[in-house]
Every structure is written in structure tokens, then in C-alpha cells.
Amino acid sequence: MPSPKLRDDALETFRVMTDDFQDIACPTPSGIEGSLKLLRKLDEPFSAGAIADRRDLLFLPFLRDIATVEQRIDRLKAALELASDHLSSRAYEVIYRGIFLEPKGSLSDRRKALLAELAQLFPEKRDNESPSVKGAEERMISKLVQILLSPEFEKHLNEAHPKPRRISTATPLHAFRSLFTDFSCEIDNNDYRRMKVLRSNTLEVLLPDQLVAPIRYNTDASNPLPVNDTVEVLSAGHTYLGTLPDRKDGAVASWMLQFVHLGTRKDPGDVITIDMRQEFFDEHQTEPHLCVTLTIDIHPLNRGVISMRLPEGKLGEAKPERRVIASPHSNAVTVERKPLPIEDDGWIRTEFNDLKLGHQYGIYLDDFDLYK
């Protein structure tokens, strides 16, 4: 089992990824291969400590729906052991065991020992035709990636090592569910670093006694916080409390949380609309490739309206598009793409309905640099 420090560090890493992305995370073959090639350099490639931070491995398909990082590590280690039986040749099995499963010494020492072992196993080869361990090792890793992604292998793993049962909860995991979002941003005509944002969020309350609602947003601007004293809550009875980094996702994706006091306690079934206006300032010009998006990673959304107004001096360069992207946090796939007009008032507007979990919806600008 992982050490206490490893467990704490790994749990924090795991929370960053799993709370919102567990069901849609899909590591790529190249990412899995890269992780395996990094691990083989270690003295104990498949120790709990070594694999705890390898997200390409911890989010393999056969690990979905497993609640804790400790359980994922245990099941992954069992899968890596079982994979030895699925390699297509005796040579691959020997190399896999010597490099990964039962390593002795440095990587170069392991390869030397394997060269001698393979020569004994295959005496029919002449000395100058002894198999190249490194070349066969590369082919073995490629084969291993195919095995780990194979539905047939997952079936065998489930038979040999059934998944731990996930304890369900009778209450919702989140206090609010978004029903409707209207988001607009307006870039200043004179200083492109300045942006005015209007956001309207209609939420349904899921848990009792709710006094404070969180509003999440993402930005790549040099300062993700709104300009001081510019946040104004327009909806009656609501009070802005502040903005903080989202501990759950902020480390990997610049997510922020704004907190709004609702004035009175809300109970399940109540529907509230929070209207806010605020300004942002990208002092160091770190967000030149502008896009405005809604990422649906907690609950499906009934309707989302997005609008953007570019500075007058940049309208001639803009070629806005409406896009829908599936699995935006892993192997992003564009499932809808359509040009958008720039209206007479300079605004670009679009509306989405029945927004699906695990998808991103937005206005994108190809080959557009706000600061050039």
C-alpha cells in the first residue's frame, strides 16, 4: 500500500482529475506508452509510489468507477501483472518481467541480464543474431499498450480481479444544478486587455439549507481574479462574497470559484437566478487566442447562450465559429463546427440547447490574435 505521504499527495492529484472528469477521461495510446517508458527507468517501475502520479495509467478504461486512488493503484498493479499472460511471445514475457515486474539493478543492467537470458532461451540463433533487447522492448511496450486498452483484457481482468463495489449515496453530490447560463464578454475598444463580463446563472437547489452558491469559471488571463470593486450582483437579495481558486481543478486548469450569498436559505426544488457584472484585466497579455466556452462537467445543462463583442479595430480579422467539442479535457473531438456572423452591432452570438455532460460549447476564433 502507498505510504501516508504518498497517499495524501496522490489523493490530492486524484481529486483534481476525478471529481469532474472521471467518466470522460480517456488516455491516449501515446500517453500510456510515454508513461510506461518513463516508469521503466526507475528501480521499481510498478511500485505504488511510481504509478501514483501517472494519470495516463490511473485513468485506463478498466479503472473507471473506482472511487479511491488506493483502489485504483491496487487494481492497476493487478492488471499489469495479469498483462504478462497476454503478451504474444515468450521473449516479450521475459523482457516484460525483467524490465518491469521483477527488475534487478539499473535499466542497463537489466538489459544486459536479459540479453544473456534470451540467448539461452533461443540457442538456435547465432551469437551475432542475438535479439536486441532494446528493440524488442519497444515492441513489447507497444503490445502492452494494446493489451491495456483491449475490452477483452478488461473482461479477463474483471473475472480474475472483480472491481471493488462502489458505495452509492442517497443524496446528491452537489448542492446545485445549473439549468441555464447566459454569458457575454465585451473587449474594450481602446485597451484590449480590459474585458467586461455579464453572467446570468439559473440554478436548481438540490440540498437543504443552502445559503451560498458557487459559480465556476475558467480563464487563461494573467490575473484570473476580477478587477477590484468591479463585481456587481444585479439580482435582488444576493451578495458577492469573493473569488478563490478552485482547489479541485485550479491546479490544472485555472478554474476559479465565485461565492454569492443568497439572502435566505434555499431548499431542494428552489430555482434561483444569479446575475453578475464584473471586469477582468489581462495585464501581461497572456490570453491572445480568445474563445468563450461553457464546459459541462458536473450536470447536463438545459440551455446556454454565449456572446462576445470584439474591439472595433479587430472585427475585420475575426472569423468566429460555433463549436461543440466532446471530451475536451482528454482526446478532444469536434462534433459540431459552424461559422458565425458578426452582427451589425459588433456582437457574435449563439445559443445551445440540451448541453451534454463531457462536452464543451463555445465561440472560437481561428488564426486570431487579440494583441497583434
Checking if the pLDDT of 363 tops 70, the result is yes
Would you give the end-to-end CA distance of the chain in angstroms? 53
Percent of the chain whose pLDDT exceeds 90:
57
**With contact defined as beta carbons under 8 Å apart, do 252 and 287 qualify?**
no
Please tell me the distance from the alpha carbon of residue 184 to that of residue 49, in angstroms, as a whole number. Answer: 45
Rounded alpha-carbon distances, angstroms, from residue 98 to 48, 76, 114, 354: 18, 19, 7, 52
Where do the structural domains in the chain lie, given as residue ranges? 4-160, 176-365
Cell numbers found for residue 12:
490530492
pLDDT at 26: 64
**With contact defined as beta carbons under 8 Å apart, do 365 and 340 qualify?**
no
Alpha helices in the chain (DSSP H): 4-21, 29-39, 48-51, 55-58, 69-82, 90-96, 107-121, 133-148, 151-160, 250-253
Cα of 255 vs its chain's centroid, Å = 12
CB atoms within 10 A of CB 141: 20
pLDDT digits (tens, 9 = 90+) for 74-107: 899 999 999 999 998 899 999 999 999 999 999 9
Please tell me the distance from the alpha carbon of residue 53 to that of residue 301, in angstroms, as a whole number. Answer: 32
Secondary structure (3-state) at 277: strand
pLDDT digits (tens, 9 = 90+) for 300-316: 999 999 999 999 999 98
Checking if the pLDDT of 273 tops 90, the result is yes
Better-scored residue on pLDDT, 345 or 254: 345
Nearest CA to 203 out of 176, 243, 230 is that of 176
Cα of 44 vs its chain's centroid, Å = 28
Beta carbons within 8 Å of 323's beta carbon, 6+ residues apart: 334, 336, 337, 338, 360, 361, 362, 363, 364
pLDDT at 305: 98
Better-scored residue on pLDDT, 335 or 245: 335
pLDDT digits (tens, 9 = 90+) for 54-74: 878 988 889 887 767 788 888
Cell numbers found for residue 277:
457584472
Instruction: State the residue for C-alpha cell 454569492.
Output: 260
pLDDT at 67: 67
Q: How confident is the model at residue 362 (pLDDT cuts 50, 70, 90)?
A: very high
Checking if the pLDDT of 372 tops 90, the result is no
pLDDT at 68: 75
> Across the beta sheet with 210-218, what order do the strands follow?
210-218, 255-266, 239-245
Cell numbers found for residue 114:
536479459
Instruction: Tally the residues of the chain.
Output: 372
pLDDT digits (tens, 9 = 90+) for 168-207: 445 556 899 999 999 999 999 999 999 999 999 999 999 9
CB atoms within 10 A of CB 330: 19
Which residues lie across from 280 on neighbouring strands? 195
Average pLDDT estimate for 100-116 = 92
What's the pTM value of the predicted model, to 2 decimals? 0.55
Angle at 330 between CA 51 and CA 319, to 5 degrees: 155
Checking if the pLDDT of 32 tops 50, the result is yes
For β-strands 291-296 and 333-339, DSSP reports them as unpaired
**With contact defined as beta carbons under 8 Å apart, do 197 and 277 qualify?**
yes
**With contact defined as beta carbons under 8 Å apart, do 317 and 368 qualify?**
yes
CATH number of 176-365: 2.60.40
Say which amino acid occupies 348.
Answer: I
Q: How confident is the model at residue 19 (pLDDT cuts 50, 70, 90)?
A: very low
Rounded alpha-carbon distances, angstroms, from residue 83 to 25, 29, 87, 88, 131: 22, 16, 7, 10, 22
pLDDT at 332: 83
Say which amino acid occupies 241.
Answer: L
Better-scored residue on pLDDT, 131 or 31: 31
Please tell me the distance from the alpha carbon of residue 362 to that of residue 371, in angstroms, as a whole number. Answer: 21
Nearest CA to 145 out of 31, 40, 238 is that of 31
Average pLDDT estimate for 25-54 = 88
Checking if the pLDDT of 41 tops 90, the result is yes
Nearest CA to 148 out of 211, 80, 64 is that of 80
Mean pLDDT for all residues in the chain: 85
Please tell me the distance from the alpha carbon of residue 115 to that of residue 132, in angstroms, as a whole number. Answer: 7
Q: How confident is the model at residue 25 (pLDDT cuts 50, 70, 90)?
A: low
